Chains A and B, each alone.
Chain A
Amino acid sequence: MIHLGIGGSDMHNALGIVWFVLLAVLWIGFLVQESFTSGVGMIFKSQKNELEGRVLQMTVGPYWDGVEVWFITAGGATFAAFPLVYADMFSNLYVALYLLLVMFITRGVAMELVYKDEGKRWQTGMSWAWVISSYGVALLLGVRFVNLFMKANTLTESSNDFLGLLSQMGIMGGLLMVSIYRTNGILWANLKAKAAIVERIKKQLLPSAIISALIMPILMMGFNWDTNLFSTNFESLPALWILPVVTMLAAITTVIAVLKNKYVLAFVTNCLALALFIITGYAGIYPYMAPGITIYDGMASQLTLSIMTWVAAFFVPLILGYQGWKFYRFRHKITEGFFK
């Protein structure tokens, strides 16, 4: 990709930055909420019977589709606001994206349909499909975002190389996502349901919380030594160093909160750790969005960006309103009695 170094008028550039930030918000919103769905999926086989399984299904079933729309919106908004970034990013992630797609589809179908048939083989098959695809989703998302943060501001061209994504750092990112998601799945189930199954799975919290807290600093050091992530923006604005520090602290606080049985606090800090990890990455790569492509190279026309801004300004509050209403309206904890 030729670095054009161009931009538009001040207004045009400002809109480009607005959409860079909005996209980061969309991705964070997706990744955090996705941790509920995939996380519960990972521990789904802990259930001992259909009733327990239904309790777990019910904690995420009504919401997962709404979460997936965050992913679709982030993709669509990238297409609309940064066509060049969308084309470059998606075609270079070809194999990874199709694997992610298969995992997404498997996950949604398995979770929704697991109890649509009484057959034991059906239910076992669907359960395992849900478990495996949940790990797959988390792993691929972790690999993808760490690679973005490693390479976006390196001024090299991106390449279409699936195995190249699976560097030590990439895999470490995948594992981080898995451990954060697993922790969050259990904590989410605890928020949404009150049943014996939830009490049992809480015992699995500590190992995954500790793994997250251990991987987080390793990844941050890796970014520091092997990549440019912390070179440009972090040097010109040292205050940014607070981001990786707070991220690591949040991961550690999750471990402490779990040890003290403060599960709501653990949920909040674990979500924060994930969100801050992504914010740290975006703060580092700004204004790059893909290897060699900045906001200003990739952005759509000023007219398109301003129309999108108006539409988002109207619809995003509306969406947050009715999704918030839904969480509130159905806030009562699921118990086994719900199904009787």
Chain B
Amino acid sequence: MDALVVILSRIQFAFTVGFHFLMVPLSIGLILFTVIFEIMHLRTGDEKYLKQANFWGNLFAINFIVGIVTGITMEIQFGTNWAEYSKFMGDIFGSPLAFEALMAFFLESTFAGIWIFYRHKISAKLRTLTAIMIFIGTQVSAIWIITANGFMQNPVGYTMAEDGSKVLLNDFLALTLNPYALYMMVHTLTSAFLLGSFFVLGVSAYHLLKQQNVEFFKRSVKIGLIVLLITSFMQPMIGHFYGQYIAEVQPAKATIFEVVWETEDTVPMYLIQIPGKSKEDSISALPIPFVGSIMYTNNPTGEIIGIDDATADWSQEMYDDFIDIIPMVHYSFRFMAGLGIMFILLALMGVYLYRKDKYVDNKWINRAFLWLLPTPWIAILLGWVVAEVGRQPWIVNGLMLTKDAVSSNVPASQVVFSIITLVIFYAVLFLVEFYLLLKFAKKGPLDDPFRNRG
């Protein structure tokens, strides 16, 4: 394979999926809030909850549009740029994508159309049903795409074709109940809800700092804090067990979390780690005894597989590729974990202030939520780097190398063409979305449904 095509295709995939994933968690998060307020409105008949649903639902709608259209890129890209991968994996990987369309995309698109264009014309019952259907659609969509990704991380339920040219489905139940996918799904969905709550708190903070629409945004803050508190506490717990499972099935990736060069027991956690090309080349300082082993094994003296054993039967080229990604994955992991701790602290402070009835007037907590608004996106993208870059040099763990997966019939010039086109085009899309979200977020609750409508 042409090395240039490989690297260009990787850059393009990372760019397009990263861009798409700016919208996805916000859609998942905001539709949760919309559903909550729709249900509250349905149960109480109180207009103030309807206003909440309209405000957050309008922001959802704008973001949802950009999310779905950039999702199309992902589907065609497997065929256009990763044709060899598609041939090798099609029997396993294609059906989750088809099921995602059949079970999720149809549901969310059909009901999103109603939500966006008819929500001011239908009954509270139908509005609530519509929002719930969209919510279900986003959840089912996440389940299938993560099932597909789960196989790339931890292949299960397959047999190899006799000529070794492709994998064949062997056990559909095993494919759908892949433990890796289950961990990843809970981790990803929780992060999306966390991001949604952070978004609600950040937008509310803007208004509370200006002391406008205070009553309205106080109600948003209450639900936002509840969601943030639950999700921020869940995340490290899920992450802990998820990480231990990764150590079982992807030992190489797991070595990067604490950069363990050689298999050993009673490993400390170093507060400062600067990984290099080898153990001698790396810097580790400020050890906290036992914590490393506890992280990996729940046992203070537990043994951790090191890079030496995890990569024992790899070729030199694969080993070199792996060593190259260690710093990027390691820093991403640490930064993500650090942000996770910050989310917990912010949630605790926010809840404390709210309970003392001091939240609305507290400048610092509102400034924090406003200025730190990008951080959940950063955390999510970093987590995604850990999951996908950490899998290298494999595209399908243990079965196919990334460099063997690109299309053999596509010249580099065409990939350059598509990258340039997409970068320019996505930049415009980003500006459009950013402008509209900012405009409607700053405007606050709208009295005029005509302007608020599609």
The interface of chain A, by Cβ under 8 A from chain B, is 57-58, 61-66, 68-69, 71-73, 75-84, 86-95, 97-98, 101-102, 104-105, 108-109, 112-113, 115-118, 159-160, 300-301, 303-304, 307-308, 311-312, 315-316, 319, 322-323, 326, 330, 338-339
Contacts and interface: CB of A to CB of B under 8 A. Distances in A.
Contacts of B400: none
B174 to A, nearest CB: 12
A82 B87 CA distance: 9
Given A79-B94, A80-B98, A311-B103, 15 more contacts: A58-B454, A68-B68, A76-B100, A79-B78, A80-B94, A80-B95, A80-B97, A104-B69, A105-B69, A105-B70, A109-B432, A113-B62, A115-B454, A117-B436, A160-B411
Contacts of B432: 109, 113
Interface residues of B, number: 70
A75 B100 CA distance: 12
B166 interface: yes
Contact of B417 (A64, A78, A98): A98
Interface string B434-453: 01100100000000001101
Interface stretch (B114-122, B309-317, B354-362): B114-122
Interface of B: 61-62, 65-66, 68-73, 75-76, 78-81, 83-84, 86-87, 89-95, 97-103, 105-107, 109-110, 112-114, 116-118, 121, 166, 168-170, 172, 407, 409-411, 414, 417-418, 421-422, 425, 429, 432, 435-436, 439, 450-451, 453-454
Contacts of B114: 62, 326, 330
B450 to A, nearest CB: 6
Nearest to B449: A339
Contacts of B168: 301, 303-304
Contacts of A86: 78-79, 86, 90, 94
29 contacts: A63-B113, A66-B113, A73-B98, A75-B79, A76-B97, A79-B94, A79-B98, A80-B97, A83-B87, A86-B78, A90-B79, A90-B80, A92-B409, A95-B414, A95-B418, A97-B76, A98-B80, A104-B72, A108-B69, A116-B62, A117-B435, A160-B414, A300-B94, A303-B172, A304-B95, A307-B172, A315-B102, A319-B102, A323-B106
A194 to B, nearest CB: 16
B102 A73 contact: yes
A83 B414 contact: no
Nearest to A100: B76
Mostly, the B contact residues are: helix
Given A109-B66, A308-B95, A339-B450, A316 B102 contact: yes
Contacts, number: 216
A159 B411 CA distance: 12
Give the one of B65, B66, B71, B113 with max A CB within 10 A.
Answer: B113
Given A79-B90, A94-B414, A88 B98 contact: no
A183 B89 CA distance: 42
Contact of A87 (B72, B79, B112, B117): B79
A81 B80 contact: no
A304 B99 CA distance: 12
A330 B116 CA distance: 13
A78 to B, nearest CB: 8
Contacts of A112: 61, 65, 116, 454
Given A91-B80, A303-B170, A307-B95, A68 B410 contact: no
